[in-house]
Amino acid sequence: MTAIERARTVAVIGAGTMGQGIAQVALLAGHRVRLYDSVPERAREAVQTVIGRVERLVAKGRLDRAEADDAATRLESAETLTGLASAALVIEAIVEDVTVKRKLFAALEGVVSPDALLATNTSSLSVTELAAGLAHPGRFLGLHFFNPAPLLPLVEVVSGHATDPAAAERAYRTVLGWGKTPVRCADTPGFIVNRIARPFYAEAFAVYEEQGADPATIDAVLRESGGFKMGPFQLTDLIGQDVNEAVTRSVWDSFFRSPKFTPSLAQRRLVQAGRLGRKSGHGWFPYAEGAEAPAPHTAGPEDAPEKVTVVGDLGPAAVLADLMEEAGIAVTATGQGGPYIQLPGEGQLVLADGKTSVEFADVVYFDLALDYRGATRIALSASADTSERTLAEAVGLFQKLGKKVSVIGDVPGMIVARTVAMLIDLTADAVARGVASAEDVDTAMRLGVNYPLGPAEWHDRLGRDWAYDLLHHLDERCPGGRYAPSLALFKLGYEAGEDEDGEEEGAA
């Protein structure tokens, strides 16, 4: 199946920001583009806006004058739907309303040719439901571009229940030919990105609701330790609390209110208070002129221990032994027991595992990092029973390694670790259910929301049992199903544990 030929027309319905962006992408890929809106004047204005953007590309040296002049001749507005009759592909980017969209596509079926593809840019509605009632639902699919469409490379190519595989493949190859990075996806609530991304927000909000840490500290830990470009509190303020919560509630409702996707009461209260983020002047953080952004909690200076003992294999944190030696801390290693770092005061420093500090005599937990060498901040958690000496030694140790230290409450799984474990679990479940391949999920999360690693990449790096064990411990301490590891994650541990002869480890 080949891509739609450049000589064929692409139609875009909806003259808003997204429609304009999609029109620009198709136009610069070489197609003749027809832009339609229910208000003709908006379509005419959108044409001029797109041409203006093309001109700015010329001014910046990103496009040749001849290419821009040629593009201007291929972009026109359509006064009526009948003006889209020659289109080989129609992409809809109008209001997120099932009734309005279905009425539009029903009308389009009487206009375009039998071989034309019909696509919706919806980010939250069911592609299958939108196709219901069409005479030829096989040619209908989702093409979910991300805003701004000319800049962001990802496009989710969504197949509904009735979508013909050949139609999906033709759309995939067409978008690929436009210079985008398409990923294949089944019609599931949230598709890939909006489904898998829920824990990035939900776990941060949960830590806040559990009085584990304030928003500024949680954001800083996820950025400076987890490697995420933006923290969830800052990001949802940018998106709009009402918009982000609406997506969360839509996914939650679509999954029959599964505890895996339960919305945040704290975010609900924010929306009810009208604190919607940047657009309202206040969200999690204040944005009025002159307002100061809250600073993350950073521990004061403490003395580092002169020597420690590394007990057992620290797994994802194994590089800490090298970092401590490089910093001048004497390290003794023993392979029996653990894993933990034995501090001079007899307290233990343990990588977050889904348990709580209060369960043990004298334990400080430290959070997961994308790269312990490059991380600039580390979170520690301790209970009221943890000795002051142990906590001070733990703080001093990481400060000696050049890290800022944030001490948070005794929440199981801490911040980065529980977030990454949940991302891994939702990905394993989605892949097992045929939503998308692990590779496409990773691509979508890296390109769609700028994650430092895809969830499957995290899983490979952390080890086959890491996420399962952490979530199992979390589920024991926070029962209700939210943290119960999926069957897919359970099986993944066994699949990764096969030896070279293909036999399961421990099998008789």
Q: Which residue has the tokens 């895996």?
A: 260
Write the CB contacts of 467 (distance below 8 Å, at least 6 apart in sequence): 420, 421, 424, 425, 458, 459, 485, 489
Taking the C-alpha atoms of residue 444 and residue 437, their distance in angstroms, rounded to an integer, is 10
Taking the C-alpha atoms of residue 427 and residue 450, their distance in angstroms, rounded to an integer, is 16
Taking the C-alpha atoms of residue 116 and residue 386, their distance in angstroms, rounded to an integer, is 67
Which residues does residue 120 pair with via DSSP β-bridges, in sequence order?
A: 92, 142
CA angle 273, 275, 278 (to 5 degrees): 170
Helices (H), 123-214: 127-131, 165-177, 193-196, 198-209
- Dihedral of CA 168/172/178/182: which sign? positive
Q: Extract the tokens encoding 348.
A: 């233990």
Taking the C-alpha atoms of residue 380 and residue 30, their distance in angstroms, rounded to an integer, is 54
Write the CB contacts of 101 (distance below 8 Å, at least 6 apart in sequence): 92, 94, 95, 120, 122, 125, 130
As annotated, the active-site residues are 123, 144, 156, 194
Residue 63: how many CA atoms within 13 Å on its side-chain side? Answer: 21
Tell me if residue 193 falls in helix, strand or coil: helix
Neighbours of 24 (CB within 10 A): 23
Taking the C-alpha atoms of residue 77 and residue 44, their distance in angstroms, rounded to an integer, is 6
With beta carbons less than 8 A apart as the criterion, state whether 497 and 464 touch.
yes
Taking the C-alpha atoms of residue 59 and residue 65, their distance in angstroms, rounded to an integer, is 9
Write the CB contacts of 13 (distance below 8 Å, at least 6 apart in sequence): 19, 36, 37, 84, 90, 91, 92, 93, 94, 104
With beta carbons less than 8 A apart as the criterion, state whether 474 and 413 touch.
yes
User: For residue 1, what is the DSSP state?
Assistant: -
Taking the C-alpha atoms of residue 360 and residue 371, their distance in angstroms, rounded to an integer, is 27
Neighbours of 358 (CB within 10 A): 13
Tell me if residue 75 falls in helix, strand or coil: strand
Q: Are strands 348-351 and 363-366 parallel, antiparallel or unpaired?
A: parallel
Taking the C-alpha atoms of residue 406 and residue 378, their distance in angstroms, rounded to an integer, is 6
